[in-house]
Every structure is written in structure tokens, then in C-alpha cells.
Amino acid sequence: MKKVVLAGHLVIALFLSGCRQEPNTAERVLSREQAVEVIIEGADSFPKFLAGHWKNDQTGWEFVFDEDGYISSATLAFGKFHVEPGVISRVSMRRGKTSVLEPGPWLIRYSAPENQLLIEIVIKHLHAEMGGGVIEGDSKDVFIGTLYPQLDQWRADWFRYPQYTATTNLHKDFPLYSDPNAAPTPLVFSRVTEGKAD
């Protein structure tokens, strides 16, 4: 039970870490074409109204879209880490700690007939140091939902597939359980107007 509590405290600390965590150093490991695949169905181009900065205030997830549908950056709910596709980020944490995130390939699929957007964010490897412990592993987050351009909203279901272990002063590589069959979390993303981003 003590292992579960300690590991849970690490996860909570990362989720409640407040401000966006900007990387100190970055190293590109995937080309632009390898980093993000953009699929457009039933239209000649990505919808113009989607270009820009979108955020869900409930979780802190953020996406910035280029006009061609490419995601130029994302902010994760986990740790509020700011990540660029195909780029390994190293972030300085409190008390001299360091966290490292390596993205895998990301996917964007826009369906014009269904007025639907799907985003798949893969973190190939995460090493997050905080307090007296480390969380390590990989994750995949999938968002799929309907677009409401007249409201500047995207209402999406969030499916989470994390595979993390926690290491503390007392325990090493303790697996953090996640139910792959858990119900998705409904989210509403809104456009961030210039000057209102955190």
C-alpha cells in the first residue's frame, strides 16, 4: 500500500505542476515528415479555422496547428510539458532535477464528411524527475471528436494509454496501473486568442 501511495504522490505532483514546462535543450530525432502524419478525408485541404492555438482548460492539454494540419507543438496534461513533434526535450525541474521526453510519430486525421478530428500523441520515452522519485515509461493519448467552427470549439473524447513505472527512495520500477478499457474523458477545446495563453 505504501508503494502505491508514494507512486500516486509522484503522479499527482506532475499533474499539478502548474505552469507549462518549457524545454531547456532540444534535439531533433525525426524529420517533419516522420514526426507528424496528416490525413485529410473528403476535402482538398485542412480547414483554415483550425489553424492556431487550441486548449482544454480542464486538463491543460494544448495544440498548435499550422495551416496544413501539422502540429507545431503540444502541451501535455502530464507535467504540463511543452513538446515539439520529433524533438527530444530536456527540462530543468526543481531542486536540480531533469526530465526528458522523446516523442514518437504523431497522427492527425481530419474527416470533412463527418466534421471530425482525430489526434494521436505518442511519447516514445518519458523520464520525469520530481521530488524524491522518478516516473519513466511511454504513453499514447488519442483524441477524437466533432468540430464546432461557429463556436470555435472541438469537443473530443480523450483515450489514455500510459505505461509508467515509478521509482522512489524505497522502491524501484513500481508499475503504475492504468486500465486500457477505461471510459474516455470528454473534453472541450477552445481557440486561444492572442494574449490569453498561459
Average pLDDT for consecutive 10-residue bins of the chain (198 residues)? 42 44 68 93 94 96 96 92 92 79 96 97 91 88 96 96 88 81 95 70
The pLDDT score that the predictor gives to residue 195 is 59
Domain boundaries, the chain: 2-191
Strands (E), 42-183: 52-55, 62-65, 71-75, 82-83, 87-92, 98-103, 106-111, 116-130, 133-148, 153-167, 174-176
- Within 10 Å of residue 177's Cβ, how many Cβ atoms? 8
Residue 20 confidence (pLDDT): 47
Q: What is the identity of the amino acid at 143?
A: F
Distances (CA, A) of 23 to 20, 75, 89: 10, 11, 5
User: What is the predicted pLDDT for the residue at 56?
Assistant: 97
| Predicted local confidence at residue 109, as pLDDT | 97
Distance, in Å, from the CA atom of 175 to the CA atom of 11, rounded to the nearest integer, reads 12
pLDDT of residue 22: 57
Are 152 and 171 in contact by the 8 Å Cβ rule? The answer is: no
Q: What global pTM score does this model have?
A: 0.84
Provide the pLDDT for residue 45.
93
Q: Are 83 and 106 in contact (CB under 8 A)?
A: no
Specify the pLDDT at position 26: 65
Q: Which of 8, 59, 69 is nearest to 33 (CA)?
A: 69
At residue 107, the pLDDT reads 97
